[in-house]
Structure 1
Amino acid sequence: MAGLTADQVASLEDLRRRLSALSRNLLTLHSQFNAATRSDDLQGPFKTVASSLHELTRELSKHDDLLSRTVVFPNANYPANTASGVSEHLLATHLGLATQEWIERGQQGAKEASSAGVLSDTDRDRLWANAPRLALDEARKQRWGADYTLAEVQAGVENVTTGLRRTLVVPEDDDDEEFDEESEDDADDDVDADEDSEAMDVDSATAQTKTAATTAPSAPTMPPMDLLDLVAFTETGKTMNAALKSRLQPQNKR
């Protein structure tokens, strides 16, 4: 096989540097990852690793043809006796079992993530159609504007730990009935408003249809004005023929 050109060697060296940087970033992220680490502290190293992976993937795709044709072998100056383990690791054509399982796990997770969690058009329309009713049901379960939720009141407010210094007030039960009645009245008003808007839309559409049916285009009473006459009229207030006649009259008198 022919030797590599200077550009190809530079490309391989650039890939080596990127792989080395990615390895260091992964080690840094692994050293900082423990149970006591805050998620905010991991955002910086995570973004660095993600950026390195993105750039490395782009470079590998760019030099895919070169990498598929390149064969690595030690020359006569390589210390095979003292560095045989390194050469065997570099010349290995198959991935290790742990690495292969990790890659397969990642590919399977990507397939499951891409196929799950996507609603069809019918399911999405049904969800939006039921959203107002579900929101109203959830609203009725809460005590809006109060210091405690309905669930906390039912379980006992003495068991709630708020950490606040001020004394919280528990509303009376009458507020629940008033809230339920107001919620039902609001729901009825919304339904009536929807029916009124639909009726108005129907009446408006019917009126427009009748107006369009009774209104017929009227026939023109005069022929359309010539473009030159229109321009002359806008500038002089006269038609083209009248403007020419007014200009020719002094010449005829002479």
Structure 2
Amino acid sequence: MIDLYYWPTPNGHKVTMFLEEAGLPYTIKPVNIGKGEQFDPGFLKIAPNNRMPAIVDHEPAGGGAPITLFESGAILLYLAEKTGRFLATDLRGRQEALQWLFWQMGGLGPMLGQNHHFSQYAPEKIPYAVNRYVNETNRLYGVLDRRLADRDYVAGDYGIADMAAYPWIVPWEKQGQNLDEHPNLKRWFHAISERPGTKAAYARAPEVNPDHGKTMSEDAKKVMFGQTAGNTKR
């Protein structure tokens, strides 16, 4: 059994997508990041960066003590290796998938996250910051669109590179983007949207957070965007 420490964010959705696709049994342990639950000492023992998702695998391959993991990319890689699914096993196919997984972790996620912050949540609109990240989002969409010009998925068959990128494209309208400008990306996006595993994963969001999709409260913003080293000392 896997315990998933989760809140319905793009990084949270990545892991539920894998778990649903693979049919692995898991239990959701909600971490309400709007209420500061990511700073609880118990959670910090699992995820010292006070971010979710994180997992505890109580039945790791080969037995032994439970394995804890934080960082969504590391979790996807672990689950792929645990199950032998959604990651190529040959040298070239594996490296191809991993470079796109790391591209998402190092580029697509952080840049689109800044887009969300300055476009949706910042207390004041800073035109330079908004334009900077909307334009960078557009550039990254273009990278992904070109990658998908001659293939159905990012790296070989459907796999962890796709699961990593897809949730960050879901809020494309809020990111100031138009999928019609990226036809290959649009095709890929809609194909993944129709997968039963994707639908099942996204159905977990309102189960965990009935307010999912609603405007974030001012109190939640203070918790989310006022973090310093001192916040973690509880």
Provide TM-score, normalisation by structure 1. 0.26
Q: Which has the larger radius of gyration?
A: 1
Give the number of the structure whose residues are more often strand, by fraction.
Answer: 2
- Larger RCO: Structure 1 or Structure 2 (Cα < 8 Å, ≥ 6 residues apart)? 2
